[in-house]
Amino acid sequence: MIEPHKHCPACGTPMPMTERYCSPKCQQALEENRKKVRRTRNFLYIIFAVFILVWLYFMLRGRIF
């Protein structure tokens, strides 16, 4: 029978149920990855907002003036 366990979110290694990560290295790697994802997501939101503003400008420029 298999003992209750879970897997490290960073590398997938089996580990005890009481731990969050299998090692400090995996914890650091996962935090760095989350920061990169956060930066990328924020960049995409900014690009999308700029696209919408440019689109609105071109759609409304003939109607305002």
pLDDT attached to residue 1: 80
- What is the rounded (10 degree) CA torsion for 11, 12, 13, 15? 110
pLDDT attached to residue 22: 92
pLDDT attached to residue 64: 59
Note whether 31 and 18 are within 8 A (CB): no
| Position 34 confidence tier, pLDDT thresholds 50, 70, 90 | very high
pLDDT > 70? residue 65: no
User: What average pLDDT does the segment 33-51 reach?
Assistant: 97
Domain segments of the chain as ranges? 6-64
Q: Which helix (H) or strand (E) holds 63?
A: helix 24-64
Enumerate the β-bridge partners of residue 14.
7
